[in-house]
Structure 1
Amino acid sequence: MADLVNFATQFADLAPARPIEHLGDTDLTFGGRIDFPLKIHEDGGENGCGGKIWAAGQLLCEHLIDNSDANGLLSLCSEKLQTHGSFTNILELGSGTGLVGICAGLLAKTNGFKAKIYATDIEKLIELMNSNTKLNGLEKYVFPEILMWGEPLAEKYQAGTPSRIDLVLAADCVYLEDAFPLLEKTLLDLTSGDSPPTVLMSYTKRRKANKVFFRRIRKHFQIITFTDFDRYEHYSSKRTYLFQLVRFQ
């Protein structure tokens, strides 16, 4: 375990750097599905692969949008979501620009749904996530925070606490083989206890080595792939998929 924690502290250096590409703002309406465009600033690769919008993040956003209504965010998760006081707690892993968490925050605000969304990543991406949260006026809904995969969870994220997590979101987190055991540990920690949160993941298939991650987590989770949605063919042509992880009890 000590070796795993030590490795986690170096995780920020694992993500390969990208050449700086474009630096700018993107307005997203997801094909007119939302009335108010979601605004995202990309850093052009300044902070590695996390500062860019990827197809997997867009797919997960579309799924959230398609399964939200005036009665509450994420109607597809209604059986699993547990409210604490008047809030539902949502955590996004590997947020990068904050796209998915901000989308969830926008849906919560638009639909009058009380939620706290924790958009988490390595320290050097917090400023970008904060900037994008403010750009969308969601400071009361979205809270960018550091979460290093493989390290012990903050107490507020743990099962049995008033602020425990009801829903975990992860877009394009399966990309670096050295980080697979860290991501696996964090998913296991987040889903411990008698009533684990719903876990929704989107993923772009890029290399054969990624099979290692899915082989590992199949020991602990059932993987349910979503195929019955309008843009399935569009995303599958990009080798991008959406699924739910269900922790074995």
Structure 2
Amino acid sequence: MDGIFGGFEDLVVPRLEEHLGQTDLSFGGKLLPALKICEDGGESGCGGKVWIAGELLCEYVLEKSNDHLLSKTIHGKRPFKKVLELGSGTGLVGLCVGLLEKNKFHDNTKVYVTDIDKLVPLMERNIQLDKVQYEVLARELWWGEPLSADFSPQEGDLQTNNVDLVLAADCVYLEKAFPLLERTLLDLTNCISPPVILMAYKKRRKADKQFFNKIKKNFDVLEITDFIKFNYYLKQKTHLFQLVRKCSPRSGA
């Protein structure tokens, strides 16, 4: 595992504005009580910090969720019973969804925040800090590795997927991880009715285009612009996409 992911901690230069220690995040009062996130100041790598793409994804979820999760989007009638966040780091986005479930929706939605093994303790710490132990679970998930039974389509039945919604923020950053992330996205959508995938991304290097150009073989990459703070995040080169699987796995994709 170290041979594949060695150097994962040296991904990008941290943005200057960091949230070190325990930070309350209410997103302009849209999330009350405010989310509490404890960061480790980079002790566990870049994943142990709050990043701007995660903030964007939280803003979008909060704005577009009224009676239930993402109720004010084209997916509004779809029930999201199992939510998976990839590359969760601190668990920011998954915890945001978990707090909505606990304090507002009560839809029996389970949220899984996932990352490499060394970040699981930090995610668990934040789960306890926000008191969402019932709604949010921390799990180890290495991109490119076979999915666990919790997340893969049911054995022998490609029509059913265990996951309804996939969230990813700032997951496109290390070139050698591009094919691993793509493999995981393909595995998660290897079913007739794939999960909704929302990906927030901050443009940092020209090489990032390689990832999006590559996945366009199997995914439509649709930019989402219909949210209040779109221009604010655009000025910071931070974007939100929906990834839609093109081909049925039965066709050999």
Question: 2 CA distance for matches of 1:245 and 1:15?
Answer: 26
2:132 counterpart of 1:142: no
TM alignment of 1:40-119, pairs within 5 A:
40-69=37-66, 71-75=67-71, 76=73, 77-81=75-79, 88-111=81-104, 112-119=106-113
Residue segments in structure 1 that go unaligned for 5+ positions in a row = 1-5, 83-87
Structure having the larger proportion of residues in helix: 1
Check whether the contact 2:161–2:194 (CA below 8 A) recurs between aligned residues: no
Question: 1 CA distance for matches of 2:28 and 2:95?
Answer: 17
| Aligned residue in 1 for 2:251 | none
- Relative to the length of structure 1, the TM-score reads 0.89
State the superposition RMSD in angstroms.
1.9
**Cα displacement string for residues 71-130 of structure 1 (whole angstroms, at most 9, x for unaligned residues):** 322213334446xxxxx0000000000000000101111222211111000000011000
**Cα displacement string for residues 115-154 of structure 1 (whole angstroms, at most 9, x for unaligned residues):** 1111000000011000001000000011000000000000
Check whether the contact 2:82–2:111 (CA below 8 A) recurs between aligned residues: yes
| Aligned residue in 1 for 2:146 | 152
SS at match of 1:128: helix
Check whether the contact 2:63–2:227 (CA below 8 A) recurs between aligned residues: no
Question: 1 CA distance for matches of 2:110 and 2:146?
Answer: 21
CA distance 1:79–1:219, shift in 2 (3 Å): farther
Q: Which shifted more, 38-47 or 223-232?
A: 223-232
- Relative to the length of structure 2, the TM-score reads 0.88
Q: Identical aligned pairs, as a percentage?
A: 52
Residue segments in structure 2 that go unaligned for 5+ positions in a row = 248-253
| Aligned residue in 2 for 1:37 | 34
Question: 2 CA distance for matches of 1:46 and 1:121?
Answer: 15
CA distance 1:22–1:160, shift in 2 (3 Å): closer
Q: CA deviation at 1:68?
A: 1.1
Q: Which amino acid aligns with 1:92?
A: E
**Cα displacement string for residues 54-82 of structure 1 (whole angstroms, at most 9, x for unaligned residues):** 1100000011111112x322213334446
- Greater relative CO (CA pairs within 8 A, separation 6+): 1
Q: Which shifted more, 227-236 or 94-103?
A: 227-236
TM alignment of 1:1-249, pairs within 5 A:
10-11=4-5, 13-16=7-10, 23-69=20-66, 71-75=67-71, 76=73, 77-81=75-79, 88-111=81-104, 112-160=106-154, 164-249=162-247
Question: 2 CA distance for matches of 1:98 and 1:198?
Answer: 19
Question: 1 CA distance for matches of 2:161 and 2:231?
Answer: 38
CA distance 1:148–1:226, shift in 2 (3 Å): same
Question: 2 CA distance for matches of 1:22 and 1:159?
Answer: 37
Check whether the contact 2:166–2:196 (CA below 8 A) recurs between aligned residues: yes
Check whether the contact 2:221–2:244 (CA below 8 A) recurs between aligned residues: yes
- Aligned length, in residue pairs: 236
Q: CA deviation at 1:203?
A: 0.2
Check whether the contact 1:177–1:210 (CA below 8 A) recurs between aligned residues: yes
